[in-house]
Structure 1
Amino acid sequence: MPMNQSEIVEYLETNQDARGIAHWERHAEKPGGLKGYGVGLTKLRKFAKTIGKDPELARQLWQSDIYESKIIALLIDDPKANTIEQAEAQVEQLQGGYLAHVFSSCDATLAKAPFVVELAERWVKSDDPMRRRCGHGLLYEISKNYKKSAPDEEWFLAHIEHIEKTYPKQPTNVLMAMASALMGIGKRSKKLNAAALRVARKIGPIDFDPDGQCDPMDVTKHLTSDYVKKKLGL
């Protein structure tokens, strides 16, 4: 039997986490008025799987003022039912970017939509920083696609070149998304690894945590790891 919105709120209330709520309250200004129950993404993913794909419920949850409800909305949406128009509307409603990671990366539902390559192409070149961030998030997800339907090597090389030309003066969150895209692309082949690594070295480690609790993101380190060398025969 399909689940409804009130049952989802009941689940969140039952599973609320004090540490998560404390973290939420420390950063309360960022999500633009959303409420939170401190439920972690791993737990939300497991819960979303019990619901299954339900685009109608996803639309209802997206209108909620609860952070976790919006996350569940993104997780249970059906990529086959998604449209570019819906994606363009939702990218305007990411609460200052607080929902961007699940919207465009982290195995995002949107990345499985049939129009994802077209959308990524459009967004990485956008004047809007949020679209650029999400576009490069989608680019990272596309880089993990090894099916015959995936873009060819030249397509990825063109995006590496675009990142090289445009990374200076990008906001940190856009630069992080670009770095993630380089990291994904650079794991596909020897040629792409060399091209992505050259740009990653130019960018250098990215210090993204104002609290200083996380190490800078170092794409070079990832692309020269023993795992990648073995995978690509480097």
Structure 2
Amino acid sequence: MIGPSSDATELIAHLETLRSEENIVGMARFGIATNRALGIPNPDVKAVARQAKKDHARARQLWRSDIREARLLALFTSEPKQLTADDARNWANDFNSWEIVDCAADLFVEARLDELVSEFAADEREFVRRAAFAMISGAAVHRKKEPDAAILAWMPLIEAHSGDPRNFVRKAVNWALRSIGKRNLACHAPALALARTLAESPDKTARWIGKDAGRELTGEKLLARLR
């Protein structure tokens, strides 16, 4: 029986009992790194996290296991108030999948490690750079009380990296731009303006980001919601 007193070794042993070879094959089709995966769906990992409760020291140990599900469990059971920028940097060094990146970005946003956004954006590693824009998107969506100016301050980063053609970066840059534009009317106008600028760019990737974001930001349902 697992619970709040379970250590990292016990939790990993429990995760091993949930292994699914069939799911591992399916995950690979979605671009998830499976060389150290057990094939456990995220809702099931979250169910384990609810039983295990939060424990930041244990989360660090789980992360070091290099097992996909143990690292997800680390992210789900870490304590945001105890997460340091150095913790986040160390974990980012191990990023090898968009899935892990996006879950980590949610945690980093909750921990308010905003100083890492520009740092990660400047990093040439594909998944670390993706983390920057996943964080921007997460902040735009989840920080309802954040001043819009703080969210809009990240727009130059979106423009600066709109030409990165790598799949997991360009999709995250696009995601960040769309999330800012969908936040409210005050953010919509500058986001749409940038989308239209990028849509006219001579750069193929920037054009794709601009056109794709522009389509969503001019959708009737979105405009009706924002008004």
Normalised-by-shorter TM-score class: 0.7 to 0.9
Residue identity opposite 1:231 in structure 2: R
Residue identity opposite 1:123 in structure 2: F
Residues 142/25 of structure 1: CA separation in 2 closer, same or farther (3 Å cut): closer
State the secondary structure of the residue aligned to 1:197. Answer: helix
Percent identity between the two aligned chains:
25
Task: Select the residue among 146, 150, 164 that pairs with 2:159.
Answer: 164
C-alpha RMSD of matched pairs (Å): 2.8
Task: Select the residue among 113, 118, 124 that pairs with 2:115.
Answer: 118
The TM-score, its normalising length taken from structure 2, stands at 0.80
Residue of structure 2 equivalent to 1:15: 18
Greater fraction helix: 2
Residue of structure 1 equivalent to 2:138: 141
Structure 2: gaps of 5 or more residues: 200-205
Q: What displacement does 1:176 show?
A: 1.0
Q: What displacement does 1:61 show?
A: 0.7
Q: What displacement does 1:127 show?
A: 4.2
Residue identity opposite 1:4 in structure 2: D
Q: What is the CA deviation profile of residues 120-178 of structure 1, one whole-angstrom value per residue up to 9, with x for unaligned ones?
A: 23322344443321111111111124444x2x333333422332243113422111111
Distance 1:97 1:147 in 2: 25
Q: Given that residues 5 and 61 in structure 1 are in contact (C-alpha distance below 8 angstroms), is that contact kept between their aligned partners in structure 2?
A: yes
Residue of structure 1 equivalent to 2:173: 178
Number of residues of Structure 1 aligned to a counterpart in Structure 2: 215
Distance 1:127 1:183 in 2: 23
Residue of structure 1 equivalent to 2:202: none
Distance 2:62 2:45 in 1: 14
Residue of structure 2 equivalent to 1:197: 192
Q: Given that residues 197 and 220 in structure 1 are in contact (C-alpha distance below 8 angstroms), is that contact kept between their aligned partners in structure 2?
A: yes
Residue of structure 2 equivalent to 1:130: 127
Q: Given that residues 204 and 220 in structure 1 are in contact (C-alpha distance below 8 angstroms), is that contact kept between their aligned partners in structure 2?
A: no
Q: Given that residues 35 and 66 in structure 1 are in contact (C-alpha distance below 8 angstroms), is that contact kept between their aligned partners in structure 2?
A: yes
Residues 110/221 of structure 1: CA separation in 2 closer, same or farther (3 Å cut): same
Q: What displacement does 1:25 show?
A: 6.0
Q: Given that residues 179 and 200 in structure 1 are in contact (C-alpha distance below 8 angstroms), is that contact kept between their aligned partners in structure 2?
A: no
Q: What is the CA deviation profile of residues 65-117 of structure 1, one whole-angstrom value per residue up to 9, with x for unaligned ones?
A: 3211111111111111111111111111113656212211xxx2221113x22
Residue identity opposite 2:17 in structure 1: T
Distance 2:195 2:9 in 1: 46
State the secondary structure of the residue aligned to 2:54. Answer: coil
Q: Given that residues 117 and 142 in structure 1 are in contact (C-alpha distance below 8 angstroms), is that contact kept between their aligned partners in structure 2?
A: no
Distance 2:14 2:195 in 1: 42
Q: Given that residues 34 and 65 in structure 1 are in contact (C-alpha distance below 8 angstroms), is that contact kept between their aligned partners in structure 2?
A: no
Residues 83/191 of structure 1: CA separation in 2 closer, same or farther (3 Å cut): same
